[in-house]
Structure 1
């Protein structure tokens, strides 16, 4: 392991001890096992680089805005690095990305572009695709905020005006402090906004700024007579005037004001009257909305009959304010974010509390005051909602201050969420789209499992996620990664070292090394969509520190090992039903083995085989077997002169033998690959030697070609381990890829998990560190392993054959999976009797991505794969149709379908 890194749970196994007397004595024995090293180089691709960074800022502000590029943009007031805030976007497909982080200049000690962006961004208008906004703090003149322009194409921010704050020595020169609410674009093309304080009276200001950076102070608000603390965005009325609100005034309840765009004619048009029957409200906040008749609509955060807020209408023609709704708890309470006019002519907004569950509401109200709650937010979805914006009729996007996956106690914390509501006359559908301030998954300790049901890989990371306790993730063959579960130690368990097991029911089963009710880890079930059920919380007496992947037995139960705990604190073998009932099958005591590691393997008779890292006659580990009931425990081999510290279990391979690895031992203490019969006859296949990589922690993977494939953790060209192949018949070692080690931009190192053979014959695995951000990688090595198997019985074939004349035919073949069958691409169509010399093969139609199709080059085989790797024909109704033209074959030839690579 690298210095300063986050060590695996049992980092001691990576400390290279002084060579034991058994390893020294084995030097003479090992000489007989020196074999040639074959030089190979297989193409290597990093599919994903893990990172310990945070995926986004926290505490989103304002509403989203739909930019000219079709993406939604918004701001957060804080970020992970400097707490200065971010600009983010959400693509139409739902992909979230942080686009700009407001930086700190160590040279000047300032935030030159501002910090803590507040309110909503606004579009620049015709011919100007840029977005405009404000920050509450920061800037080159102090901590007073800025107005800025954001170029999303270049990813740059330009300061249009830096505020100077309140100057008590020269109040007249005070231009404002603490912009709020964001900007609006006026009909004249200029932008208008307000500051919370500053100005000659220190009650806030109204100002104008142009896209070129011209600034004009329009009006300093007199807190004694005109209100103070304007917090909300302005709106332009039908009369061309600007309207806005202040949260307070002399009476303490706030005002609605009007001002001309040239700064003249500031007037309070309504003073809010607080709480109680007949009152108009208290603390007007959030955006105002305007209808086609020029009426303005807004919300008060408090006040009204129930003192939890009001919705009101202001009619400029008469100067009258009419309360449309007094919030009452059930309809919501403490509305924040203001109102937005929908395509249906109704007004939409959100409240911070109330509703059925007490966590706020999304509502709509007609201009006549007919109120309807469209969603009562639950503790698990939204808390602290701050307004909505509509992208198309009935589709609304919103932000909330709190909640999200970072909230371990729903409704009482978290750092915010971006969500979508689809509202119809009959129902509302809620969908969370992004949770803020979530740490990326990193440090994958285990290997992956490939699901034949969707063609994706599933795995775990020891660290990262919302709570820093690790994650469960899914990655597709093209490298798109999705975090499915953010593990929380005291509920789901945390820091998983083991990979997942795909159960016969289609769910995934896994274990965590710590946490749970007793702090000893958990055993859980996860659906493919990421819904987790904890089936068992480990007690010390049952085992502690479960680090090996589970094995599903022939009886449907799951079998595994615990590294410690049990009667002698040397570990256990256990059985757990899918209902969570756990039975200890064996307690290790030392002479029979200690600290079992590696997944178990079960033979056709139901016998389980495994390894212990330590214990046995020489305390260097053992290979053992026992029945599924725990009876008949037998130690098959005690390691000593021939290897040390087997960490990977055993797997079946050529000749009916079992194959495994040891981390140490062998010729120069670099570890070995061994084979052992079910009766215990032992032999060394390969001893890792100087000039090779060393110290395999993971098991070997047996290819259809009979070769053994695996990974090592050290030595090799860059001293970071390698992907290797070993011929079990000769022991010949061949490196397929040498890992480049730790550090950003490397291919990684310290590969600890088993390799998976992809349907196209590539090897897919993980490294614990390295990659672009040094948090580990998922990689692919194109090893060219033959994987083809006949799946003709799983599909329905239909074909048409056209005689083109001159002995040439055109075949059009459709392959459709039968009900309940899933076929992973690549697939091949051997045509018996077809001599396709000069034949043209093309992907004609079908449910496959673009780029598929083409001849594999082998006689009689038309192979269909793609640049992104395997793809799945999942069920009946999905098909691929191919055309073979120029084939010199009559219609009597037969077809078969093969999955995989020849």
Structure 2
């Protein structure tokens, strides 16, 4: 099995507004390989997240006891990281092939999705709860019933301040082009699923990536397809009384980029994201969408990958840092052809600088092809995963970058 990435979608070249962005050649950031994943525990890792105690948790898309993935924990003791699979997917009517990083609630429970498995074969939303002594129990929150219920949720879930979970599926719904949904706790272990929007043939369609939520409860995301060039869109879904209203903020394509990633929203309501293809060099872009007068949004292309000769291609999303910069990864290219980790920093007056922190070198037991979101620790170190590489006998690894 393999995960379909946004880099595999078609692109068209056109024109758009762009600000000045400078490039800086990579400098001596250091990489530390925390752990190479073994097939028995799960392989093809897709991002990690910290718990309150500093342990790392992530999903492995493949491998494990049943060959259909796992959720694992990494704990640090005596300078050595140890991996434990806290749940193995694939038994009975369980989900299969988990995607996206899990998300924690305040009580330490983990939530996520699988695009396959379950009673109907179209995936599940799940909760993993700690029971003590390293034991975790799984509760299936929702079995996706295919058809109008939505199929194959493929990017994980986001949690709002009220404990509601938001996600998207890239197929199914009333028109077959995917849905955005909410899962709300009812008490007693029961959950209610609500479809917020059915994506249709004549608009933005086939949502992908994590959703983002602003402080007003508005939900933002991206789609693979739709628009004049059929290269995707950025959308907003807003609460309106007892219902929700969807609005396309911008159609992608041309120099804007295509195959947009998960969106992040800042405290001022500005949206930032990457596009996996398109741009000046057809290697992807970084862009910003800002609220403007009359309910419109202003699109600004901030950076074209390929400006820096060490750049990678197919950026996989952005992680905001406290200093106003962003960290991100490119799935391919870089110095050795296996992807990069980069930092994108504001320099004042609307200018930005992109710096390559690390180029992955698969041929020297390093990882290759980074995928999944990044996470920061309290010291500003960056953690992530690659879906391939590592020492012989492993398949993917968890790494730390110290800028």
Instruction: Please report the TM-score for the alignment, with normalisation by the length of structure 1.
Output: 0.35
Residue 329 of structure 1 corresponds to 254
Q: Secondary structure of 1:213's match?
A: strand
Instruction: Give me the whole-angstrom Cα distance separating, in 1, the residues matched to 2:316 and 2:94.
Output: 28
4+ aligned runs moved over 6 Å, structure 1: none
Q: Does 1:205 align with 2:128?
A: no
Structure 2 counterparts to residues 310-389 of structure 1, below 5 A: 310-317=233-240, 318-336=243-261, 338-342=262-266, 345-367=269-291, 369-378=297-306, 380=309, 381-389=311-319
Q: Does 1:284 align with 2:207?
A: yes
Question: Residue 240 of structure 1: CA displacement?
Answer: 2.6
**Deviation digits for residues 217-255 of structure 1, max 9, x if unmatched?**
111101122111111121123443111000111533111
Residue 415 of structure 1 corresponds to 338
- C-alpha spacing 1:422/1:343, structure 2 compared with 1 (3 Å): farther
Q: Is the 8 A contact 2:232 2:252 kept in 1?
A: yes
Instruction: Give me the whole-angstrom Cα distance separating, in 2, the residues matched to 1:100 and 1:344.
Output: 37
Q: Does 1:137 align with 2:71?
A: no
Residue 194 of structure 1 corresponds to 113
Instruction: Give me the whole-angstrom Cα distance separating, in 2, the residues matched to 1:312 and 1:248.
Output: 17
Residue 41 of structure 2 corresponds to 113
Instruction: Give me the whole-angstrom Cα distance separating, in 2, the residues matched to 1:364 and 1:132.
Output: 30
Structure 2 counterparts to residues 286-685 of structure 1, below 5 A: 286-317=209-240, 318-336=243-261, 338-342=262-266, 345-367=269-291, 369-378=297-306, 380=309, 381-406=311-336, 414-423=337-346, 424-440=348-364
Instruction: Give me the whole-angstrom Cα distance separating, in 1, the residues matched to 2:159 and 2:97.
Output: 22
Unaligned runs of 5+ residues in structure 1 are 1-58, 63-91, 104-110, 166-172, 407-413, 442-463, 467-902
Question: Residue 320 of structure 1: CA displacement?
Answer: 0.5
Residue 159 of structure 1 corresponds to 85
Question: Residue 263 of structure 1: CA displacement?
Answer: 4.7
Q: 1:102 aligns with which of 20, 37, 41?
A: 37
- C-alpha spacing 1:186/1:387, structure 2 compared with 1 (3 Å): same
| Greater percentage in strand | 2
Instruction: Give me the whole-angstrom Cα distance separating, in 2, the residues matched to 1:425 and 1:227.
Output: 44
Residue 400 of structure 2 corresponds to none
Question: Residue 292 of structure 1: CA displacement?
Answer: 1.0
Instruction: Give me the whole-angstrom Cα distance separating, in 1, the residues matched to 2:353 and 2:285.
Output: 13
Q: Secondary structure of 2:61's match?
A: strand
Q: Is the 8 A contact 1:219 1:263 kept in 2?
A: no
**Deviation digits for residues 380-408 of structure 1, max 9, x if unmatched?**
413111101012232111111111112xx
- C-alpha spacing 1:265/1:416, structure 2 compared with 1 (3 Å): same
Instruction: Give me the whole-angstrom Cα distance separating, in 1, the residues matched to 2:182 and 2:246.
Output: 14
Q: Secondary structure of 1:330's match?
A: helix
Instruction: Give me the whole-angstrom Cα distance separating, in 2, the residues matched to 1:96 and 1:325.
Output: 37
Q: Is the 8 A contact 1:343 1:394 kept in 2?
A: no
Instruction: Give me the whole-angstrom Cα distance separating, in 1, the residues matched to 2:200 and 2:115.
Output: 21
Instruction: Give me the whole-angstrom Cα distance separating, in 2, the residues matched to 1:309 and 1:330.
Output: 13
**Deviation digits for residues 61-115 of structure 1, max 9, x if unmatched?**
99xxxxxxxxxxxxxxxxxxxxxxxxxxxxx982111110012xxxxxxx22111
Q: Is the 8 A contact 1:163 1:175 kept in 2?
A: yes
- C-alpha spacing 1:93/1:192, structure 2 compared with 1 (3 Å): farther
Residue 270 of structure 1 corresponds to 197
Instruction: Give me the whole-angstrom Cα distance separating, in 2, the residues matched to 1:425 and 1:290.
Output: 28
Instruction: Give me the whole-angstrom Cα distance separating, in 1, the residues matched to 2:76 and 2:315.
Output: 26
Q: For the pair shown, which has the larger CA radius of gyration, 1 or 2? A: 1
Q: Secondary structure of 2:145's match?
A: coil
Q: Is the 8 A contact 1:287 1:340 kept in 2?
A: no
Structure 2 counterparts to residues 14-93 of structure 1, below 5 A: none
Instruction: Give me the whole-angstrom Cα distance separating, in 2, the residues matched to 1:394 and 1:201.
Output: 44
Q: Is the 8 A contact 2:147 2:176 kept in 1?
A: no
Q: Secondary structure of 1:202's match?
A: coil
Instruction: Give me the whole-angstrom Cα distance separating, in 1, the residues matched to 2:28 and 2:333.
Output: 23
Instruction: Give me the whole-angstrom Cα distance separating, in 1, the residues matched to 2:76 and 2:303.
Output: 33
- C-alpha spacing 1:190/1:93, structure 2 compared with 1 (3 Å): farther
Question: Residue 429 of structure 1: CA displacement?
Answer: 0.6
What RMSD over aligned residues (CA atoms) do the two structures have, in Å? 2.5
Q: Is the 8 A contact 1:179 1:193 kept in 2?
A: yes
Instruction: Give me the whole-angstrom Cα distance separating, in 2, the residues matched to 1:400 and 1:263.
Output: 39
Q: Is the 8 A contact 1:344 1:393 kept in 2?
A: no
Count, aligned residues: 325
Q: Is the 8 A contact 1:238 1:294 kept in 2?
A: no
Q: 1:222 aligns with which of 141, 145, 152?
A: 145
Q: Is the 8 A contact 2:71 2:87 kept in 1?
A: yes
- C-alpha spacing 1:152/1:308, structure 2 compared with 1 (3 Å): farther
- C-alpha spacing 1:114/1:289, structure 2 compared with 1 (3 Å): same
Question: Residue 273 of structure 1: CA displacement?
Answer: 1.4
Q: Is the 8 A contact 2:28 2:357 kept in 1?
A: no
- C-alpha spacing 1:129/1:421, structure 2 compared with 1 (3 Å): same
Structure number with greater CO (CA < 8 Å, separation at least 6) is: 2
- C-alpha spacing 1:214/1:417, structure 2 compared with 1 (3 Å): same
Instruction: Give me the whole-angstrom Cα distance separating, in 1, the residues matched to 2:74 and 2:237.
Output: 34
Residue 175 of structure 1 corresponds to 94
Instruction: Please report the TM-score for the alignment, with normalisation by the length of structure 2.
Output: 0.75
Instruction: Give me the whole-angstrom Cα distance separating, in 2, the residues matched to 1:228 and 1:359.
Output: 30
**Deviation digits for residues 836-857 of structure 1, max 9, x if unmatched?**
xxxxxxxxxxxxxxxxxxxxxx
- C-alpha spacing 1:178/1:271, structure 2 compared with 1 (3 Å): same
Question: Residue 177 of structure 1: CA displacement?
Answer: 0.3
**Deviation digits for residues 652-683 of structure 1, max 9, x if unmatched?**
xxxxxxxxxxxxxxxxxxxxxxxxxxxxxxxx
